[in-house]
C-alpha cells in the first residue's frame, strides 16, 4: 500500500477516521457512517506493513516501539500536499493496528462546522477558564481551533497551545503562537503548563485536563489573569463541574469549588448527531457563568445548573436538549435521534409532543 496515495484518497472521500485492523478490510468513517473497502480483509502482516509506513512518514523509529513492547502510542504526522494526521498505534489479538484521524491542511471554517457565534465569542474574554467538553470524536479540537484562530486575528498577545498530539497548526497572525506537543516537546501537560507561566502567555490552550495536578495548575493560572481553554470528556455543564470537583480528595473539594466558581467563564458541551441528509451535525450546550451559577458551584448545587441555563436564552445560553429540540424543529434531525441523544429524554419527548413534532 502506498500510504500517501491511500491517505489522499481518504481525504477525497471525506473520511474522518481510518481503521487498520487485522481481520477487516480497510474501514473508514465518513459523515458519521462506517464504510468498509471492497477488498480482502487485512492480515497481520498487512497491518504491520501499514504501521511501519506510518512510522516512516512520521520520521519515527518503529523498531523502538516494537522492541520496547509498548502497547500503544499516539503521534501526529504530515504528508506534503496531502494533509495532517493523528495516529494511534496499538496491539490487538497479537497483531499491530492503527486508527488514523484525518486533519486536512488549513484551519476549519466555523460556518462549515455550524459553530454558534456564542461559542466563538469566548475569544473575546480576557481571563478565566473556558471548557469545551464532549465524548471523543465530538469535534472539540475543531471548535477550539476556530476559537484560537479568531483570537489570533483579532487581538495581540502570546498564545501557547499544548496538545497530545498537535492537530491543527496555527501560523503567527496578530498574535505570537507557540505550539508544544506532549510528550515530544515537553513530558506532561502539568509540566507544560508550569513552564508556560514563565513564558509571558496571554492565552493558553491545554489539550486536556487529565489529573488533579493539571486541573489545579490550570485553575491557578486562570486566577492569575490568564485566559485558559481546555477540554474534558464529560457531557453537560453540571457533569463537568462535578467531574472537576470529584477529582480531588474530599478535604480539598470545598476550596476547589470556591476557586472554580471565581475563574470559570464558560462551558461548551457538544456532540455530533446523525442528520436527515446522511451527514452529522453538532448539538451544543452553552453555559456562561453568572452570579446564580457561581453561587450554585460554590454551594455544591450543580444539579440546578441546567435550570439556570434553560432560562438564560437572552444571555446566549442553551441546554443540550434545547439544541436538539431546535434541530428537530428545523427538520435537520429526526425526532428519534434527538431523544436518543437527549440529557433528559422524557422532558424533551413531552416538549416535542406539545409542539406536534
Segment 120-136, tens digit of pLDDT: 999 999 999 999 999 98
For residue 183, what pLDDT is reported? 82
Ordered structural domains, the chain, with CATH: 3-103 (3.30.450.90), 117-318 (3.40.50.300)
Task: Answer yes or no: are the C-beta atoms of 338 and 348 closer than 8 Å.
Answer: yes
Among 108, 107, 89, which residue's Cα sits nearest to residue 98? 89
**Between 258 and 12, residue with greater pLDDT:** 258
Of 170, 51, 162, 32, which is closest to residue 105 (Cα–Cα)? 170
pLDDT at position 225: 75
Pairing of strands 27-30, 33-36: antiparallel
- Checking if the pLDDT of 178 tops 90, the result is yes
Structure confidence by residue, pLDDT tens digits, 141-171: 999 999 999 999 999 999 999 998 788 889 9
Across residues 44-52, what is the average pLDDT?
94
pLDDT at position 106 is: 80
Maximum average pLDDT range among 105-114, 179-188, 346-355: 346-355
pLDDT at 76 over 90: no
Contact 263, 223 (CB under 8 A): yes
Provide mean pLDDT across the span 172-183. Answer: 93
* H-helix segments, the chain: 3-12, 44-57, 62-67, 117-120, 140-154, 189-196, 212-223, 237-246, 250-263, 291-299, 305-310, 320-329, 335-341, 345-354
Task: Give the Cα separation of 222 and 244 in Å (integer).
Answer: 15
The CA distance from 102 to 170, in Å, is 17
| CA–CA dist 285, 345 (Å, integer) | 15
Q: Give the DSSP letter of residue 186.
A: S
Tell me the per-residue pLDDT of 81-90, one tens digit each, with 9 for 90 and over: 888 898 999 9
Amino acid at each position: 500500500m502506498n500510504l500517501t496515495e491511500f491517505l489522499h484518497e481518504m481525504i477525497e472521500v471525506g473520511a474522518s477516521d481510518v481503521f487498520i485492523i487485522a481481520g477487516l478490510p480497510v474501514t473508514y468513517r465518513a459523515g458519521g457512517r462506517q464504510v468498509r473497502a471492497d477488498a480482502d480483509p487485512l492480515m497481520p502482516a498487512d497491518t504491520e506493513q501499514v504501521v511501519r509506513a506510518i512510522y516512516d512518514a512520521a520520521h519515527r523509529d518503529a523498531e523502538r516501539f516494537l522492541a520496547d513492547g509498548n502497547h500503544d502510542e499516539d503521534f501526529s504526522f504530515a504528508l506534503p500536499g496531502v494533509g495532517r494526521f493523528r495516529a494511534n498505534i496499538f496491539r490487538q489479538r497479537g497483531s499491530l493496528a492503527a486508527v488514523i484521524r484525518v486533519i486536512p491542511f488549513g484551519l476549519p471554517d466555523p460556518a462549515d462546522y455550524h459553530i454558534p457565534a456564542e461559542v466563538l465569542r469566548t475569544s473575546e474574554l480576557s481571563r478565566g477558564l473556558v471548557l469545551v467538553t464532549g465524548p471523543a470524536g465530538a469535534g472539540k479540537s475543531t471548535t477550539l481551533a476556530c476559537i484560537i484562530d479568531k483570537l489570533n486575528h483579532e487581538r495581540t498577545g502570546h498564545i501557547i497551545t499544548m496538545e497530545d498530539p498537535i492537530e491543527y497548526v496555527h501560523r503567527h497572525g496578530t498574535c505570537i503562537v507557540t505550539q508544544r506537543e506532549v510528550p515530544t516537546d515537553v513530558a506532561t501537560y502539568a509540566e507544560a503548563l508550569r513552564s508556560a507561566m514563565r513564558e509571558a502567555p496571554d492565552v493558553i490552550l491545554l489539550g486536556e485536563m487529565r489529573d488533579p495536578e493539571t486541573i489545579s495548575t490550570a485553575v491557578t493560572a486562570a486566577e492569575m489573569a490568564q485566559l485558559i481553554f481546555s477540554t474534558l470528556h464529560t457531557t453537560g455543564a453540571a457533569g463537568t463541574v462535578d467531574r472537576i470537583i470529584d477529582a480531588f480528595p474530599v478535604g480539598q473539594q470545598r476550596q476547589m469549588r470556591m476557586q472554580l466558581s471565581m475563574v470559570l467563564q464558560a462551558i461548551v458541551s457538544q456532540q455530533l448527531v446523525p442528520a436527515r441528509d446522511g451527514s452529522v451535525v453538532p448539538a451544543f450546550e452553552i453555559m456562561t457563568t453568572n452570579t446564580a451559577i457561581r453561587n450554585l458551584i460554590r454551594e455544591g448545587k450543580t444539579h440546578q445548573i441546567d435550570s439556570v441555563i434553560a432560562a438564560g436564552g437572552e444571555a446566549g445560553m442553551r441546554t443540550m436538549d434545547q439544541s436538539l429540540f431546535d434541530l428537530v424543529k428545523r427538520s435537520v434531525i429526526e425526532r428519534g435521534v434527538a431523544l436518543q441523544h437527549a440529557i433528559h429524554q422524557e422532558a424533551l419527548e413531552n416538549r416535542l409532543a406539545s409542539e406536534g413534532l
